[in-house]
């Protein structure tokens, strides 16, 4: 057996032990504190309370039966009319708009008129600035041409989402009817994913063909399995309830780490389920959208890959309309501050989110500099490759630690709790815990390198 295989076996053994320790400790914490946690409800599993302390997940889960009925009715009517009468372009836009506005009336009542009024004002502004907008669109022609040369989907004769997004439309496609249909399209109205106008309008004429019926069905089955995983998680591990109840202040450093790690995984799975539900709805309706969570949170070992894989459709929007106009890679160190501050304000105008954004940028700067230097010095010898791999794993462990700190400030402890958190995690009794955390992240990063290496 080669040294590399022995190393992989040792890393897998450590990872298995790590998760066994985390699961065992999580079960114990949830059991011991169940009487003091807020947001627990009677569960569907006998003898276990269900953690519904997160309002967003509670509302989505509670309204899931109604949403599914609405999805079935919308898809049945829209697809039946589309295929029976061969509707395209304006015909499909009119049908989808009528169905979507009916859906919006159910959600908002008379306030739908304000939404449509805002849409009309925005459409008028875009028409006035149409020349300037078209000049901006020319910035992406080169990007589109390079993509067409290396995309396997486009090379096979199909048209991927990116190509639809960058492909120019003829003038009569930019109509008020299509625009209103785009804004109110029921499957994507509540939570996205974000789809570009060009890609949406193109699929009014020709429904997506990149996903077969079998692939879409399997996509739905995987969603159901993931939902069952979430049900098991919220019944056995009450991570979010610890945050809502603010009981983390009474925990040991190791227990704080367990809860923090669990909350991040809960958040990832929550958004994964919400976004994939509506993407599935859109795919069945014939509209392909970007995948918002293409990678698991535990498979990201640097900030850049993490943010490309978290709300990916929003990331693409930010890159297109903020990052590139601000100078892109040429002014990366400056533009990230503007982009992340915008993201924080876009979520909500709260000091804890601003702190999260600026902490993320503060941790992002060293990563950008290290990556820039690393790209200039590519090792060739076996010793050089070994050193490079070890240093990359250490850097990845540091990055994950920084990412956890930023998200703890933004979504768990807030700016007011960071002093207490630092005093607990930097005390003498916490040093063994910090060593364990760092080694675990180091092992995780090294493990992620193996599928990429011969």
Active site residues: 347
DSSP H helical ranges for 167-286: 176-184, 186-189, 197-205, 213-236, 239-245, 253-284
Residue 340: its H or E element: helix 332-347
Q: How many CA atoms lie within 13 A of 376 on its CB side?
A: 5
Buried (b) or exposed (e) across 270-299, using 16+ Cβ within 10 A?
bbbbbbbbbbbbbbbbbbbbbbbbeeebbe
CB 368 within 8 A of CB 399: no
Sequence-distant (6+) residues with CB within 8 A of 354 are 341, 344, 345
CB 299 within 8 A of CB 448: yes
CB 260 within 8 A of CB 412: yes
54: left (phi over 0), alpha (psi -120 to 50) or beta: beta
Q: What secondary structure, in 3-state letters, does 86-98 show?
A: CCCCHHHHHHHHH
Q: How far apart are CA 339 and CA 326, in angstroms?
A: 9
> Do you find a cis peptide bond into 284, omega within 30 degrees of 0?
no
CB 318 within 8 A of CB 339: yes
Q: How far apart are CA 121 and CA 420, in angstroms?
A: 48
CB 204 within 8 A of CB 93: yes
Q: How far apart are CA 72 and CA 64, in angstroms?
A: 12
CB 279 within 8 A of CB 193: yes
Residue 52: name the closest of 62, 61, 39, 68 by CA: 39
3-state SS assignment for residue 132: helix
CB 48 within 8 A of CB 257: no
């Amino acid at each position: 057996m080669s040294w590399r295989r022995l190393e992989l076996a040792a890393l897998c053994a450590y990872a298995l032990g790590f998760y066994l320790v985390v699961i065992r400790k999580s079960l114990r914490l949830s059991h011991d504190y169940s009487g003091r946690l807020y947001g627990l409800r009677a569960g569907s599993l006998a003898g276990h309370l269900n953690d519904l302390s997160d309002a967003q997940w509670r509302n989505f889960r509670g309204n899931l039966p109604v949403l599914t009925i609405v999805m079935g009715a919308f898809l049945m009517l829209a697809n039946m009319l589309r295929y029976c009468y061969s509707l395209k372009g304006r015909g499909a836009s009119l049908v989808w708009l009528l169905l979507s506005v009916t859906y919006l009336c159910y959600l908002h009542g008379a306030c739908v008129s304000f939404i449509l009024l805002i849409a009309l004002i925005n459409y008028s502004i875009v028409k006035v600035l149409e020349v300037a907008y078209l000049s901006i669109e020319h910035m992406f022609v080169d990007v589109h041409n390079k993509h067409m040369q290396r995309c396997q989907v486009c090379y096979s004769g199909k048209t991927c989402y990116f190509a639809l997004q960058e492909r120019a439309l003829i003038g009569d496609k930019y109509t008020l009817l299509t625009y209103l249909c785009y804004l109110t399209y029921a499957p994507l109205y509540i939570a996205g994913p974000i789809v570009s106008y060009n890609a949406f309008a193109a699929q009014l004429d020709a429904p997506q063909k990149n996903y077969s019926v079998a692939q879409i069905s399997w996509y739905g089955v995987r969603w159901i399995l993931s939902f069952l995983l979430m049900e098991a998680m919220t019944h056995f591990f009450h991570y979010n309830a610890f945050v809502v109840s603010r009981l983390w202040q009474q925990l040991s450093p190791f227990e704080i780490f367990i809860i923090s790690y669990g909350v991040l995984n809960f958040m990832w799975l929550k958004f994964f389920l919400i976004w994939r539900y509506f993407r599935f709805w859109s795919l069945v309706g014939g509209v392909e959208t970007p995948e918002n969570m293409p990678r698991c949170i535990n498979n990201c070992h640097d900030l850049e890959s993490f943010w490309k894989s978290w709300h990916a459709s929003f990331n693409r929007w930010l890159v297109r309309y903020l990052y590139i106009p601000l100078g892109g890679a040429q002014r990366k160190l400056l533009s990230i501050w503007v982009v992340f501050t915008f993201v924080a304000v876009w979520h909500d105008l709260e000091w804890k989110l601003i702190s999260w954004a600026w902490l993320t940028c503060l941790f992002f700067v060293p990563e950008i500099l290290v990556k820039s230097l690393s790209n200039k010095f590519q090792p060739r010898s076996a010793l050089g490759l070994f050193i490079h791999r070890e240093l990359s794993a250490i850097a990845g462990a540091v990055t994950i630690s920084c990412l956890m700190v930023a998200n703890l400030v933004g979504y768990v402890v807030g700016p007011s709790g960071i002093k207490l958190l630092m005093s607990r995690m930097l005390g003498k009794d916490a040093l063994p815990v910090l060593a364990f955390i760092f080694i675990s992240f180091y092992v995780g990063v090294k493990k992620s390198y193996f599928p990429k290496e011969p």
